[in-house]
Amino acid sequence: MAKKLGKRMRQKQVRKNKWYEFQDKSFKYIALAATGIGVLVLCVLLYDVFFDGFGRLDWKFFLDSSSRKAKNAGIYAAMGGTLWIMALTTIIAFPIGIGAGIYLEEYNKKGRLSNILEVNISNLAGIPSIIYGLLGLEVFSRTLMLGDTAITGALTLALLILPIIIVSTREALKTVPYNLREASFALGASQWQTIWHQILPASIPGIVTGAILAISRAIGETAPLIVIGAATYITSVPKLPNESFTVLPIQIFYWIGKPQHDFQVNAAAAIIVLLGITFVMNGAAVYLRYRWQKKVKW
Amino acid sequence: MKIEAQDVHVYYGQDHTLKGVSLTVKKNTVTALIGPSGCGKSTFLRCMNRMNDLIDNCHVKGNILIDGVDINSPSVNINELRKAVGMVFQKPNPFPKSIFENVAYGLRVNGVSNKEYINDKVEWSLKQAALWDEVKDKLKKSALALSGGQQQRLCIARALAVEPSILLMDEPASALDPISTSKIEELIYNLKASYTIMIVTHNMQQASRTSDKTAFFYMGELVEYDDTRTLFTNPKKERTQNYITGRFG
Ligand SMILES: Nc1ncnc2c1ncn2[C@@H]1O[C@H](COP(=O)(O)OP(=O)(O)O)[C@@H](O)[C@H]1O
Ligand SMILES: [Mg+2]
């Protein structure tokens, strides 16, 4: 009886093991398939865009502004607008975001404020970007009467990426080992001296990496800028931040909405340019992180 | 008296870690703190330069007088205190900078900018720490490229550069090989002429070789404190006897 039972249990165990093995394998293939589909879709999209747009990329395309004729239209104004937005957003968002990250991580780590902000900042990062657009429209464009200008756009995008910069700054600061702080304090350095001379140099590549990724997200944003009323048809690059502007994603959005095939080609070419910019920025971020990991060993 | 600890209690949150430690230390002596791990040696050492202030839930009670001044009184500037009471940690922790900058750091945060003075001071400190001959040709090289023993002597030089009068050492040789260890011990012996030294050690031989006085801690209490020779040859408490003969710990 006991023997029989033992045999039955063994059989059960074997069946179970087979089932686990099957689970293991099938999960592996499902995961592989999911990755494969993602990569495949991306490749098809990229192929489609490159096939349509690559031939359109010439110097003229970069030097022309909006035009009613597709062949005469280019991305000069949009490119200029994107650069303006990039510069202004950087100037606004980097100091505030990095400063806030340092304050929260180094000065107010255990404070109540820090706890409340910690939760809320993570939530802020998840809010749809169009909501930031509405906020920007109400606060910057209307209340502060900045209008549909580059500065309004930059302020709005700065708000959008502030949570990302704050969180990544804190993460970078967290990676600095405690014994480095300890060593500095033990020599009589003040908190600010410790942050400035030891903690920031050790974490700046991480901070900058996060900030670059945040900016590269900002320049791809369309929705909030449409909401604040960025122009879709513009023939000159703004000379000052208080002029109206357009950016690459909006230019693309506008061209894609047109029925003529030639505008679709323009859109594809502009997408290639935008992808290129994003790619270069992400590449820079990856490179910085790589250099950093190689150089600093504790 | 250089250092006077009077009824020092330390709490980590609810944990009563140090339970009323009192001891006095004379100028230019070496005091060894021994005892099983977790008995509160490091905690006590860290009271001397208020490193425990950096730990959020840590509270210190009782008085610690250095040169007669209560270091926990509000009139004491904590950064000045830490310049006067240098510390060397268990694991060598040089800054990820050049050898020169490691030693110069304490001067720079002190507001010293005179290049000549800094150069002289760096050389002097490295000589004091018996490291000068080994590194004088590579001062610009990264401190992280040095061996563990050299790194630890660099950390000592770094502490000496700001001219402390007390040097705290928390198991400074426990991560080092025997040769580096004996170099550190020799150094401690030589530094005694100019500094008051407090050293935590796990190693009984090290305590008896390097120190004038030894304090035996057990479970947060100071069990016995005496001349090193007396404590090791003729301990008054049974617990001390058991510990130094290796019956526990
Ligand atoms: N930062 C800390 N937070 C909480 N408890 C601590 C902390 N540091 C040390 N302790 C506790 O205090 C006791 C004494 O530690 P420590 O002074 O490091 O002992 P020792 O140096 O003698 O080995 C230990 O029980 C340890 O767990
Ligand atoms: Mg210890």
Query: Is the model's pLDDT at A253 over the cut of 70?
Result: yes
Return the pLDDT at B18: 95
Residue A15 domain boundaries: 2-56
Return the pLDDT at A2: 61
Is residue A39 located within the same domain as residue A71?
Answer: no
What is the interface pTM, i.e. ipTM, of the complex?
0.93
User: Using an 8 Å Cβ cutoff, are A228 and A152 in contact?
Assistant: yes
**Helix H segments across chain B?**
41-48, 78-84, 99-108, 115-128, 132-135, 148-161, 178-191, 204-210, 228-233, 238-244
Mean of the pLDDT values across residues A212-232? Answer: 87
Is residue A251 located within the same domain as residue A141?
Answer: yes
Average pLDDT of chain B to the nearest whole number: 93
User: Using an 8 Å Cβ cutoff, are B85 and B48 in contact?
Assistant: yes
Is residue A51 located within the same domain as residue A63?
Answer: no
Out of A11, A41, A56, pick the residue that ends a domain. A56
Is residue A51 located within the same domain as residue A74?
Answer: no
Tell me which of B81, B91, B105 to substitute to probe the interface with A (most A C-beta atoms closer than 10 Å). B105
Is residue A281 located within the same domain as residue A140?
Answer: yes
Those residues of chain A whose CB sits closer than 8 Å to some CB in chain B are 109-110, 179-190, 193, 197-198, 201-202, 296-298
Q: What is residue B188's three-state secondary structure?
A: helix
> Is B38 a pocket residue for ligand 1 (Cβ < 6 Å)?
yes
A85-122 pLDDT tens trace: 999 999 999 999 999 999 988 888 777 877 888 888 88
**Contact between chains at B79 and A188 (C-beta distance less than 8 A):** yes
What is the Cα–Cα distance from B156 to B126, expressed in whole angstroms? 9
Note whether B2 contacts A: Cβ–Cβ < 8 A: no
Return the pLDDT at A298: 47
List the residue whose alpha carbon is closest to atom 6 of ligand 1: B12
A281 vs A229, higher pLDDT: A281
**Contact between chains at B96 and A202 (C-beta distance less than 8 A):** yes
User: Using an 8 Å Cβ cutoff, are A263 and A93 in contact?
Assistant: no
Is residue A15 located within the same domain as residue A63?
Answer: no
Question: Could you give the number of structural domains in chain A?
Answer: 2
B49-92 pLDDT tens trace: 999 999 989 999 999 999 999 999 999 999 999 999 999 999 99
Is residue A51 located within the same domain as residue A161?
Answer: no
**Contact between chains at B54 and A297 (C-beta distance less than 8 A):** no
Query: What is the value of pTM for the model shown?
Result: 0.83
- Among chain B residues, the shortest Cα distance to A188 is held by B79
B123-157 pLDDT tens trace: 999 999 999 999 999 999 999 999 999 999 999 99
Please report which ligand is nearest the Cα atom of B10: 1
CATH class of B3-244: alpha beta
B221-240 pLDDT tens trace: 999 999 999 999 999 999 99
